[in-house]
Amino acid sequence: MRPEVAAFRELDTLVRNLSDQLAGYRRRAMAAEARSRELEALVMGANSALATAESEVVRWKDAAQRAESEAAQARAIADEAETHASMSSAAAAAAAAVAPMVVAVEAASAPAASGAVPDSQLARENEELRTLLVEARGRTTQLVDRVRFLRQQLGQGAEK
């Protein structure tokens, strides 16, 4: 075979092989581009879901804070009511203890001892305060349950 013909055929073979290689690279590049586009779409979707979840978390946090504030207020009311009730009980007990002495003093000195409070009135006030205390406790329990529920929801929202 003449040398120029051999050289030409060799070059021809190499160019064809090179062409095949380039075609393979092109196919791989196109597949990679398609995959890249898919991943970009997934990332965009994930970002959107994340933004939604974040707004949910913020919303649940606000709700939880509000509920906690209400629970604290209810707790304060309940504590105050309990304090009043115990004070009333103590006052009633003291009144009961001093009642014979008051009667004795009344009998001994003045005909009209107007400063003393009757036992029945103290008992009634005591009963009213206990009722208030029971109501406040019930409300506090409800609020605590609500806070617990909101915290659970908040935890599930964060997991998303």
Partner 1 sequence: MDGMMESKSVVRVKIVGEEYTLRTEASPQHTQGVADHVDRTIRAILAAGATIETHKAAILAALQITDELFQERSALAALTGELKQLASDIRPLLPPAKRGDESTTG
6 binds partner 1 per the rule CB under 8 A: yes
Instruction: Report, in Å, the least distance between residue 16 CB and partner 1.
Output: 9
Min dist. Cβ of residue 35 to partner 1 (A): 24
Question: How far lies 148's CA from each of 68, 69, 126, in Å?
Answer: 10, 13, 33
Of 17 and 131, CB closest to partner 1: 17
| Closest CA relative to residue 158, chosen from 86, 58, 79 | 58
Among 4, 97, 101, 159, binds partner 1 (CB under 8 A): 4
Q: Using the rule CB under 8 A, is 119 a contact of partner 1?
A: no
Q: How far is the CB of 15 from partner 1 (least distance, A)?
A: 7
Q: Which residues bind partner 1 (CB under 8 A)?
A: 3-4, 6-11, 13-15, 17-18, 20-21
